[in-house]
Amino acid sequence: MGVYSIAHSLLALGPKDLFLFLITGSLFFCLLNYTVGVVLFHRVNSEKAGLKTPPLVPSVLPIWGNFSFRAIFDPRAWALSASNVFGNATPVRARFLANDVYIFQGVKNVEAFFRQRDLSSFNLHGFLLNRAFGLPTAAMKTYAKDDSGAYPKPYPESQVEPRNRIEYQLEKSLHRFLLGPGLMPLTRRFQSAIAQHFYTLPISDDWVSWDNFVTFFEQELTAPFLNSLCGDYLLRAHPDFLANRWTFENNIWSMIFGLPRFLAPRAYRARDGALRALKDWHVWALQNFDPALVDADGDDPVWGSKFFRERKTIFDTIDGFDLDAIATHDLAFIWGTTNNSIITSFWTAVETFSDPHLLAQVRQEAEACLIIDPEAGPDQPPQFDMDKLQQQPVLQAIYAETLRLRISGYFVRHHSHGDIAIDGWRIPNNHIILTSPMHTHMDPNTWGSERPVDQFWPGRFLKPAPAPGGGSGWEFTTERAPGAWIPYGGGYHMCPGRHFAKMMIIFSTALLTTMYDCEIRADPRNLAMSMRNFGFGMSGPTSKVPARLRRRAH
């Protein structure tokens, strides 16, 4: 039958019959596409010789590929339910429109993924800096030209000048600050600042209510951290900086999607306000810096950490990096160091204060680490043996279980220096490769059957052990699921702030439980995880979480 005859036959159908024909035909086409995909999936997966190509996951919808509208409106539920995409024992390909995304899941494959040194998230960082944080065009062009890699020795084919090696310069600076000599000075400043700040909060032995406990952490925990990071001028001169920072956080996807200003005015106003504050701080710091005030660690009260002072020197040599570009990077760094650690601290506090038995254990561990100073005055906050505190088993278990339960997102990598092999699997040049901790974190076969995996239970990370003074106690362990707990990623690009984040979360929990009583007054439904910022790590709550605090009598 010719095309003309087919068209003539269709026109002869009534509206109802034509509608049924189109629906039936569409379903048949989707079924045929899926059937062919299943056959190819199993054929490709059975290759034996040479490098294997990850099989293409069968797709029911040929236009959207393996992604659906559920991936937009409930991305976490979609990722956990899409077992053919994220639950495979072997790497797979999933198709979105015309693009193939390579997905590595399972402990063995994820470890191989993280070991691959040629993978990087640099291209993604440049995209996010431009779309979400407003990186100027001139600086973006320099980003686009940097193909030198993140290591001291650039890729052989790269022609980028050493001063324009942005990826390498930023990686080295971050590692030196958060993993190297800059970590301990920052940690000491933060511990002193947060202890003093929490101790002097205007909270007495009468209950003080908070409309939303999240804002307590966004304000009262973020403030001492920023003062430790970049001195106190920023918040002193711009008290709206914190509100702008968190408003920007809660609207970040509208920026990434490229919504115009008239459709996302709050997001743009918040970002513009935060960037103005950072530029003003830079101008003030340049005018007021005094080398005589630099301490033995290289820090000073004007710039705060020498990290920012050194980065300014680096940025001044890079093409296209004016004050606007520098402020963009500062906002991105502040966002990156606070977006997960602050919300994780909130969740650890909520879980601890909501369980009287768990609260008693945490207080016992925290008080065992107190340093008693008989000469300390009444205005001195409690002091802790920090090394001992961070080794307490229950506190570590709460921290680890919070990350296991509520991390939402992906570790995304890219490569552009030819095809690569990952544990025998061939990945073509210039493709996105990703993995996610969500599936392994929520796998009941991995975490046992004592409690459902969607319930908070620190016992997953505890095993019985002899107590120091005799009797029985607990020991923190990840042996239950070796290699399956990966909240910070792995390999060279593993989150450099992981050590500081652990300290912040455990220390803030110890301080709050030692100094205050707290009642969480939220409906359990309000403690569900929001998908507003899905993709960037820790998920916050869907709604406000009312609570009240009072100072403990002793």
Cβ atoms within 10 Å, residue 157: 9
Paired with 191 in beta bridges are none
Where would I find the H helices in 132-203? 137-145, 166-178, 183-199
Amino acid at 201: L
Nearest C-alpha neighbor of 423 from the set 165, 71, 75, 52 = 52
> 214, 346 in Cβ contact below 8 A?
yes
Residues 26-55: b if buried by 16+ CB within 10 A, e if exposed: eeeeeeebeeebeeebeeebeeeeeebbbb
What CA–CA distance (Å, rounded) separates 389 from 62?
54
Q: 């990840």: which residue's tokens?
A: 478
Surface-to-core class of residue 355, CB atoms within 10 Å of its CB (0-12 exposed, 13-18 middle, 19+ buried): middle
- Give the bridge partners for 413, in sequence order: 433
- Is 369 labelled a binding residue? no
Say if residues 305 and 299 touch (Cβ distance below 8 Å). Answer: yes
| Phi, psi for 196 (deg, rounded to 5) | -65, -40
b/e code 123-155 from CB counts within 10 Å (16+ = b): bebbebbbebbbbbeebbebbebbbbbbeeebe
Collapse the DSSP code of 331 into the 3-class scheme (helix H, G, I; strand E, B; otherwise coil) and give the result: helix
Binding-site residue numbers are: 495
Binding-site residue numbers for heme are: 495
